[in-house]
Structure 1
Amino acid sequence: MARPRNQAERRAQLIDATVGTVVDLGATATKLRDVARAAGVTPASVLYYYADIQELFAAVFERSAATYFVSREEAIAAADGPVARLRACIHSGVPWPGEGEQSTRLLFELFPVALRQESAAQRQRDFVRQQTDLYRQVLELGRDSGDFTLTGNPSALGRSFVALEDGYAMDLLVGSVTAQDIEDRLLDHARTVTGSKAFVAGPAPRSEG
């Protein structure tokens, strides 16, 4: 690994090495020496920046969650209107093959860190709240515009979407559903909670003109 110019760069390189190692080996099998080997440094060098492997895992989760959230936020902002925005919110939360599935697998691998480290637990709570708020904002937009007739409180409905995403993502990771299955089921949920027939399974309809 090339010599970094500063501590921030070194930390970023160690996080990158950890991401690749966790995806390859799984979090439970990843040891400090594995990360050091992937980064091209000694274990002692890793410990200069992180107290232990759990602290490093927490840093990886922090960055991965932030990156995942920003990508969802951008996808929603690029959509026009409540229906398109809710579709974008749903689509961006599905672990599609490739980078999406890998990101989801990484976050699930690292979830146990939140059960043992309070700072990681707080980040997990914040992560769920941020995603719930994305849904809440879109649902409120549709309610206020008259496009949606909501069946409940927007915050509670938003949390139900996030819970469904998490449960279906685990189903995908163990091979019992596909990414398209997940999107179709979430669209069914959207139709139920919004009262809008615009949410049908499959790709979003193309606008005319």
Structure 2
Amino acid sequence: MARPSAVAERRREILEATCEVVSERGFRDLRIVDVAKEAGYSTGTVHYYFDSKEELLREAFRFEYEKSRIRREAVVSPGLDPVARLRALADAYLPSSPASVRSWRVWMELWISALRDPSMGQVNDVYYGEWRQAVLDAMREGQEKGLIEVPDPQLFANMYVSMMDGLAIQVLAGAEGISLADMQATCRAFVDSVAVTS
């Protein structure tokens, strides 16, 4: 029997490989054999750790979300004021590196899967809800401190998150009218539009 640390490492490697395959091929075209090849294991090993393709996908989304949460926490230092935090969050979520592009592609696959599978919609509700809550918390704190002026923090948080999603999809799709720099400038302008200036 494998040591607990070896078990955790194998699971991590399989999930890492799954995210890579999902990013490259999409979930519908994902095959266990491709994940196994990417991870350097047999298909039997993958099936030992994950009972089904659906379980593997759910765990891959959780895995990708945890990495995203760690990135978010890394840019949001305790002393950062809410306006600076919202700007930093937008910058951190730009599809500007291979890791962030992969993360966006995995999330896009989750959304597509959720259209057909209610259980994937529940996965989205949990992880995406936490992301929306982080934005809402920054909004409410900014409002309480007099740094942000909006009539409805929840509405703004939804607009902020939806704007980033829409822009990122256009950037990833290679739309001529939206570059990475355009996305960053738009997100910053959106935050600046509600920031109270002295």
Normalising to structure 1: TM-score of the pair?
0.80
For 1:69, the equivalent position in structure 2 comes to: 69
Offset, 1:50: 1.5
In structure 2, distance between residues paired with 1:182 and 1:63: 26
State yes or no: 1:86 paired with 2:86. yes
Alignment of 1:14-163 (within 5 A): 14-77=14-77, 80-150=80-150, 152-163=151-162
In structure 2, distance between residues paired with 1:72 and 1:66: 10
Identity rate, percent: 25
8 Å contact 1:36–1:42 — kept in the other structure? yes
What residue identity is the alignment partner of 2:162? A
Offset, 1:120: 3.2
**Poorly superposed stretches of 4+, deviation over 4 Å:** 116-119
In structure 2, distance between residues paired with 1:113 and 1:4: 33
**Going by fraction, where is helix more abundant, 1 or 2?**
2
Offset, 1:42: 2.8
What residue identity is the alignment partner of 2:192? R
Paired positions, count: 194
CA pair 123-110 structure 1, distance change in 2 beyond 3 A: closer
Normalising to structure 2: TM-score of the pair?
0.84
CA pair 90-39 structure 1, distance change in 2 beyond 3 A: closer
Q: Secondary structure at the match of 1:131?
A: helix
Q: Secondary structure at the match of 1:77?
A: coil
Offset, 1:55: 1.5
Q: Secondary structure at the match of 2:76?
A: helix
- In the TM superposition, what whole-angstrom CA distance separates every residue of 1:70-118 from its partner, at most 9, and x where no partner exists? 3113312256223322211221222223322222122213433334444
- Unmatched 5+ stretches in structure 2: none
In structure 2, distance between residues paired with 1:39 and 1:86: 36
For 1:186, the equivalent position in structure 2 comes to: 187
Offset, 1:168: 1.0
- Unmatched 5+ stretches in structure 1: 199-209
CA pair 10-99 structure 1, distance change in 2 beyond 3 A: closer
